A and B are shown apart, each in its own frame.
Chain A
Amino acid sequence: MSDARAHYLNAGHSMRSWLLTKDHKRIALLYLASVTALFFVGGSAAVMFRLQLLTPHGHLVLPETYNKLFTLHGIVMVFFFLVPAVPTVLGNFLIPLMIGAKDLAFPRINLLSWYLFIAGAALALGATLYGGVDTGWTFYTPYSSVFSNTYVVATVMGIFVAGFSSILTGLNFIVTIHKMRAPGLRWFRLPLFVWAIYATSFMFVLATPVLAMALLLVGLERVLHLGIFNPALGGDPLLFQHFFWFYSHPAVYIMVLPAMGVISELIPCFSRRRLFGYEFVVMATFGIAFLGFLVWGHHMFVSGQSAFAGLVFSFLSFVVAVPSAIKVFNWTATLYKGRIRFHTPMLYALGFIGLFTIGGLTGLFLATLGVDVHVHDTYFVIAHFHYIMVGGSVMAYLGGIHYWWPKISGKMYPDALGRWAAVLIFVGFNLTFFPQFIVGYLGMPRRFYMYPPEFQVYNVFSTAGASILALGYLLPLGYLLWSFWYGPDAGDNPWGASGLEWKTSSPPPVRNFETKPVVDEEPYDYEGGRYG
């Protein structure tokens, strides 16, 4: 970083200038470093248990260790990677830039959010170092509240604290998007990424407190032996499941809506087309956010809830599939009559559409009552949600990182290498998770440290795929870090992209814009000839 121009990266090099920064861009980088580290922690756990599952009577680790590994994987990946990744890294960096603001509305709260996140992660990971937790990321009672002998309280408190980080982040985004848009940036001129983060923020604010309270009650129940969820004391264990999924189903959309927002930026830019059906995509975003709150019971079809509840939740789950389908169709239609360029971010975007489509379609199997009874809690479910979460969210996150990297760092990475990595990840992912659909229908339940031999062949495929996937994830880590210091300068707008974030210099100055931007164009105006 030797250029003379002042920007947010060279505005101070001390530790203090980073750890006490109130600049949303620096906070985004703090998050980037944290969630990347946590991603590799969660990934290492996955590598371990995939190796264990290579043979039916895997003797690599003890059963209790295996149970702690998949719990660690689930907790870290869901609460400390997937939920925060896109909103806190890309959202933090981009929202003020995209709406032409100098920062978020509450920069100090933004920094506080990061510290809460770190404190939560430290608590949860500290519990792991001390001996781990074996409840699964779902913390079902009464196992978690009475029977487990592991560090449940510290872990749920970690998630509780991190939950406040989510809430404050969401609050900050909502207020910022409402009150601080540049002149001329009407609601229906907002980039889809801003819409997606806006909808996600509402889900943060509305769903997280319910999880917080449920986990608080589990913690109290363990420490004080109360009976809220303990049937032996008159409590109802299903109430916990209701609370848990009231958060955790919207959380699925918290994880995927921002990813969809990223894709809605990438597809128009690299096909040089206006996003097809902009208004429909916006409405679909809110349709998903709203309906996402009404389908939690589809995790409980065989839990003992009433058949009537099953019928209602199944129906609503089919309805929520519609807006997701709308998005896929609109992205596809955006390619029509475009001038499509296949740079690294675009490969991730296309991969996202393919994998998300499979994830969405297999979701229909799970929404179908009669079929779900068979596949519930088997590897079919594992495969389905990894197609959504990894094939969807992680692909989009990586696509977004590659797209905005020139803006974040001011540098360009080797595009050819990036494309190879994207292909490697796509192949490795499918090899890992497609066999799990089959082994799931065959009846292999999840969370098994050993399994009957007839399931082995599919597990071997999965483990082989996982090793390719691991390599695929290490590549971008390497070349992005390299480019940060040694890469060629990228220029302010290397992709010829629309959007306010590309109208300032790269890396952006501390206050984002030299002069307050004024917006006089519709979003994604790639056909107007302004962007070449």
Chain B
Amino acid sequence: MKGDGMAESTRAFAEQFDDPLQQKEAAQAGMWVFLVTEVLFFGALLTAYTVYRHLYPAAFREASRRTDLALGSINTAVLLTSSFTMALCVHAAKTGRRAALVALLALTMALGAGFLAIKGVEWAREIHEHLLPGPSFEFPSAYPGEAGRQAQLFFVLYFVMTGVHALHLVIGIVLLGVLAFFAALGRYRSDYYTPVEVAGLYWHFVDIVWIFLYPLLYLVGGPR
């Protein structure tokens, strides 16, 4: 077997593979398949959102106007920027610039953390304004109990969607942290940087999910 012929210490790929190329392709394919799963995972939430918005269009419009458009928009910009720096990470890895790679990974992580911080501020405000679904939920409306009940569904979906998205981002930040650690040790070279590439796919995906959430949660209310 080809792989076994090489000395164990210098082999740059796992022993179940025949060569580094096969390993790289497998890793990429694996991430793509994983992202397909993720699409369906968020897809269920988007379906629920579609169903309830169709049932209660007015309440969803009204509820959407209560989200913080300014912070939401800033966050969109932050996350898009992080995708850009992530792309730069892959480029730095490809060209074998170790210091640049570590710095860019750190920057991407910082942007991700910034997103989470802003999101946290938003959540805190919304909780303060009694928009967290549950016994404390309050939604002033002409007919108590009615629009409130429907608006609460909007906020259930809002918190679940942004919560699940934030969880994905936390995982992404941890992932990049591990990559940065190994990058600093010099594990990635211009002929081997698959983990950076695969993590990049994941990061962009989390970004794209936000691109869908942003209009659905912040913009459907129309002008405020």
A–B direct touch, CB within 8 Å, in complex? yes
**Chain A interface (Cβ within 8 Å of chain B)?**
101-107, 167, 170-172, 174-176, 178-180, 205-210, 212-214, 217, 220, 224-228, 233-236, 239, 243, 511, 515-516
Q: Is the CB of B26 within 8 A of A228?
A: no
Q: Check B56 for interface membership: any CB of A closer than 8 A.
A: yes
Chain B 52-67 residues near chain A, CB threshold 8 A: 52, 55-56
In the complex, A176 Cα to B150 Cα: how many Å?
47
Q: Is the CB of B44 within 8 A of A102?
A: no
Say how far A211's CB is from chain B's closest CB, in angstroms: 9
- A208: nearest chain-B partner, CB-CB: B37
In the complex, A361 Cα to B40 Cα: how many Å?
32
Q: Check B6 for interface membership: any CB of A closer than 8 A.
A: no
- A238: nearest chain-B partner, CB-CB: B51
Q: Is the CB of A226 within 8 A of B156?
A: yes
- Residue from the list A102, A107, A225 in contact with B1, Cβ < 8 A: A102
B residues contacting the other copy or chain, number (CB 8 A): 40
Q: Check B34 for interface membership: any CB of A closer than 8 A.
A: yes
Interface of A is mostly: helix
- Residue from the list A209, A224, A243, A515 in contact with B38, Cβ < 8 A: A209
In the complex, A243 Cα to B44 Cα: how many Å?
7
Chain B 17-76 residues near chain A, CB threshold 8 A: 17-18, 22, 25-26, 29-30, 33-34, 36-38, 40-41, 43-45, 47-48, 51-52, 55-56
Q: Is the CB of A175 within 8 A of B33?
A: yes
- Residue from the list A101, A210, A227 in contact with B153, Cβ < 8 A: A227
Q: Check B133 for interface membership: any CB of A closer than 8 A.
A: yes
Q: Is the CB of B37 within 8 A of A171?
A: yes
- Residue from the list A102, A175, A206 in contact with B40, Cβ < 8 A: A206
Quick one: which of A104, A105, A107, A227 has the most chain B CB within 10 A? A105
Q: Is the CB of A228 within 8 A of B38?
A: no
- Residue from the list B1, B44, B135, B156 in contact with A511, Cβ < 8 A: B1
12 contacts between A and B (CB under 8 A): A105-B16, A210-B43, A212-B41, A217-B160, A226-B134, A227-B133, A227-B153, A234-B150, A235-B153, A236-B51, A515-B1, A516-B18
- Residue from the list A104, A212, A213, A227 in contact with B156, Cβ < 8 A: A227
Q: Check B191 for interface membership: any CB of A closer than 8 A.
A: no
- Residue from the list B1, B17, B33, B52 in contact with A171, Cβ < 8 A: B33
Q: Is the CB of A205 within 8 A of B36?
A: yes
Q: Check B8 for interface membership: any CB of A closer than 8 A.
A: no
Question: Given that A210-B43, A213-B44, A227-B153 are contacting pairs, would A179 and B26 also be in contact in the complex, using a CB cutoff of 8 Å?
Answer: yes
Question: Given that A107-B16, A180-B22, A225-B134 are contacting pairs, would A209 and B41 also be in contact in the complex, using a CB cutoff of 8 Å?
Answer: yes
- A511: nearest chain-B partner, CB-CB: B1
Say how far B155's CB is from chain A's closest CB, in angstroms: 9
- A170: nearest chain-B partner, CB-CB: B33
Q: Is the CB of A227 within 8 A of B16?
A: no
Q: Is the CB of A178 within 8 A of B29?
A: yes
Say how far B145's CB is from chain A's closest CB, in angstroms: 10
Say how far A217's CB is from chain B's closest CB, in angstroms: 7
Question: Given that A209-B40, A243-B44 are contacting pairs, would A224 and B22 also be in contact in the complex, using a CB cutoff of 8 Å?
Answer: no
In the complex, A511 Cα to B18 Cα: how many Å?
12
Q: B25 — which chain A residues lie within 8 A by C-beta?
A: 179
In the complex, A105 Cα to B17 Cα: how many Å?
7
* Among all A-B residue pairs, the 5 with the closest Cβ atoms: A209-B41, A213-B44, A103-B16, A209-B40, A105-B26
Q: Is the CB of A174 within 8 A of B44?
A: no
Q: Check B152 for interface membership: any CB of A closer than 8 A.
A: yes
In the complex, A234 Cα to B44 Cα: how many Å?
18
Question: Given that A175-B29, A224-B134 are contacting pairs, would A214 and B44 also be in contact in the complex, using a CB cutoff of 8 Å?
Answer: yes
Q: Check B129 for interface membership: any CB of A closer than 8 A.
A: no
- B55: nearest chain-A partner, CB-CB: A236
- B153: nearest chain-A partner, CB-CB: A234
Q: A212 — which chain B residues lie within 8 A by C-beta?
A: 41
Q: Is the CB of A106 within 8 A of B30?
A: yes
Q: Is the CB of A226 within 8 A of B133?
A: yes
Say how far A334's CB is from chain B's closest CB, in angstroms: 33
- B14: nearest chain-A partner, CB-CB: A107
In the complex, A170 Cα to B30 Cα: how many Å?
10
In the complex, A376 Cα to B134 Cα: how many Å?
37
- Residue from the list A179, A210, A515 in contact with B22, Cβ < 8 A: A179
Q: B153 — which chain A residues lie within 8 A by C-beta?
A: 227-228, 233-235
In the complex, A205 Cα to B41 Cα: how many Å?
10
Q: Is the CB of A210 within 8 A of B29?
A: no
- B25: nearest chain-A partner, CB-CB: A179
Q: Is the CB of A102 within 8 A of B15?
A: yes
Say how far A92's CB is from chain B's closest CB, in angstroms: 13
Say how far B53's CB is from chain A's closest CB, in angstroms: 12
Q: Check B187 for interface membership: any CB of A closer than 8 A.
A: no
Q: Check B130 for interface membership: any CB of A closer than 8 A.
A: no
- Residue from the list A104, A170, A213, A228 in contact with B41, Cβ < 8 A: A213
Question: Given that A210-B44, A214-B44, A234-B152 are contacting pairs, would A239 and B51 also be in contact in the complex, using a CB cutoff of 8 Å?
Answer: yes
- B4: nearest chain-A partner, CB-CB: A511
- Residue from the list B3, B4, B26, B41 in contact with A175, Cβ < 8 A: B26
